[in-house]
Amino acid sequence: MLTNQKYLFNLPENIIYLNGAYMSPQLKSVETAGHNAVTKLNFPHKIGVDDFFNGPKNLKKAFAKLIEAPNYNNIAIIPSASYGIANVANNVALEAGDEIIIVDAQFPSNVYAWQKIAEQKKAKIKIISPPKKYENRGKNWNKNILDAINKKTAVVTLGPTHWADGTLFDLKAIREKSKLYNAALIIDGSQFIGAAPFSVQEIKPEAVITVGYKWLLGAYGLGVAYYSDAFNDGLPIENNWINRYKSEDFAQLVNYNPGYQPKAGRYNMGECSNFILVPMLTESINQILKWQPQYIQEYCDSISKKGINALRNLGCFIEDNAYRSKHLFGVYLPKHIQIQNIKTKLKKHQIYVSYRGDAIRVSPGIYNSEEDFEKFVNCFKN
C-alpha cells in the first residue's frame, strides 16, 4: 500500500492541489533530470550520434512496460494527443457510410481529426450521450455504447475514463463487441494511463495515445503512443529524417531512404530525440513503475472515500464507485448548492480543481491526503 508521496514533489504546503487532470505537479527527480539535460546542452561537442537514439529507446521501453506492450518498437514519440490521433485517422480504412463512434463531450483532440476524415470519406460520426437520469448512469452509458456498435461501425474511439467526470468505460466489453464487426478500437489514455493499470495485451486495441504532462507526470510538449502491427505499413503525417530506415547512419543521410524505421518508428515526430523532455518523461514513467498504477488507484480511493460519502450525503451526485475512476471524478451539485459559492470558498482556501461542463472535476494524486478532502468537503457545507 502506498503512503503519501508529497515529499517527492515541489507542491507548496499552503495549497491543496486536486487538479492532476489539468496538469501534473512536477516530481523533484523530473526537475533534476530537466536541469541536467539543459546543462548537458552547454557542451554540444559531447552529444554523439547515439544520444539521438538511446534516449527515445529508453523512453519507449519504459512506456511499453507500463502498458504491457510486448515490443517497444510499437511505441512512437509524439508531441501531443492530436498528433497521435491524426496518425491513426490518416491510416484507418473508411468507406462511405461507415460510422465512427465517439462519446459525448469527448476531448477535442480525439474529435477534430475524426470529423475531418469522416467528411473526406463520407463517413458518419456517431455520438453516444450519457443518460439524463443519474440513477445507473455509468452502467447505462456503457450499455448505450455497446448497443451502438454494429455492422456499420468502423472505429470506436474514446478514453478508458471520461475526461470531464471520470466515468469508466468497459474497454473489455467494447473491445469484444467491436471485434465482432472488425471495428478498430482507438484509445485516448491521456486521463488514465499512469494513474491506473492498463494492459495492451488484455485490451488489444489498435492504438493508444497519451500525453506526458498529466498522469505520466512528465513535462508539457511530449507524449507517447502505441500503434499495433495493423499500422506497420501506414503513412505518417510527418516525413522527417529520424523516422526513416537506417537514419542512425549520419554519413548516409544524403542517400534518401524510402523505407521507415520498424513498426511504429515511422510515426515518431521530428526531433523526437528531444534532449530535455525525453529524459524528464523517462524519469517520471520509471517512478510510476516503482509505485505501480494499481497502488496509485488504491491510494486515491483510500483518501477520497469519506469525502465522497460526505458529498453524497449533502445531495451531490458522484458516479457509482464501480463506474468511475478513483483518480478523477465529477461532482454534480444539487439545486440548493450554488456553484459560484463553491468556487469562492475553494479559491479562498487555495483548493485547486477544474470545472468541466456541469461537473466540478476533482483529480487527486499520491501527493494528496484524506485531510485535503476534509477541507474540500467543508467548502460545500452551510
Rg (CA), the chain: 22
Share of the chain above pLDDT 90, in %: 99
**Grid coordinates belonging to 16:** 491543496
Strands 99-103 and 153-158, sheet pairing: parallel
Strands 124-128 and 184-188, sheet pairing: unpaired
**Grid coordinates belonging to 206:** 489498435
Do 35 and 375 touch, CB atoms closer than 8 A? Answer: no
Sort residue 221 into left (φ over 0), alpha (ψ -120 to 50) or beta: left
Q: DSSP class of residue 188? A: E
Residue 382 banded pLDDT, cuts 50, 70, 90: confident
Alpha helices in the chain (DSSP H): 28-40, 51-66, 81-89, 112-121, 137-148, 171-180, 200-203, 277-291, 293-313, 339-348, 370-378
Q: What is the mean pLDDT of residues 205-222?
A: 98
What is the distance between the alpha carbons of residues 59 and 40, in angstroms, rounded to a whole number? 18
pTM: 0.97
Residue 244 banded pLDDT, cuts 50, 70, 90: very high
Which DSSP string do the residues of 213-250 spell out, in sequence order?
A: SSTT---TT-EEEEE-GGGTT---S---STTBTTTT-G
Instruction: Sketch out the chain's domains with CATH numbers.
Output: 6-27+293-378 (3.90.1150.10), 44-290 (3.40.640.10)
Q: What is the mean pLDDT of residues 327-347?
A: 97
Strands 184-188 and 207-211, sheet pairing: parallel
Residue 1: per-residue pLDDT: 85
How many beta carbons lie within 10 A of that of residue 101, not counting itself? 25
User: Is the model's pLDDT at 19 over the cut of 90?
Assistant: yes
List, for residues 118-168, the tens digit of each pLDDT value.
999 999 999 999 999 999 999 999 999 999 999 999 999 999 999 999 999
User: Is the model's pLDDT at 374 over the cut of 90?
Assistant: yes
Share of the chain above pLDDT 70, in %: 100
What is the distance between the alpha carbons of residues 309 and 318, in angstroms, rounded to a whole number? 9
CA 157, 161, 166, 169 torsion-angle sign: positive
Do 346 and 379 touch, CB atoms closer than 8 A? Answer: yes
List, for residues 38-87, the tens digit of each pLDDT value.
999 999 999 999 999 999 999 999 999 999 999 999 999 999 999 999 99
CA 308, 309, 314, 320 torsion-angle sign: positive
Residue 241: per-residue pLDDT: 97
Do 81 and 188 touch, CB atoms closer than 8 A? Answer: yes
Residue 20: per-residue pLDDT: 98
Do 263 and 71 touch, CB atoms closer than 8 A? Answer: yes
Strand, coil or helix: 51: helix
What is the distance between the alpha carbons of residues 336 and 316, in angstroms, rounded to a whole number? 10
Q: DSSP class of residue 270? A: T
Question: How many CA atoms lie less than 13 Å away from 8 in the CB half-sphere?
Answer: 17
List, for residues 77-133, the tens digit of each pLDDT value.
999 999 999 999 999 999 999 999 999 999 999 999 999 999 999 999 999 999 999
What is the distance between the alpha carbons of residues 365 and 179, in angstroms, rounded to a whole number? 34
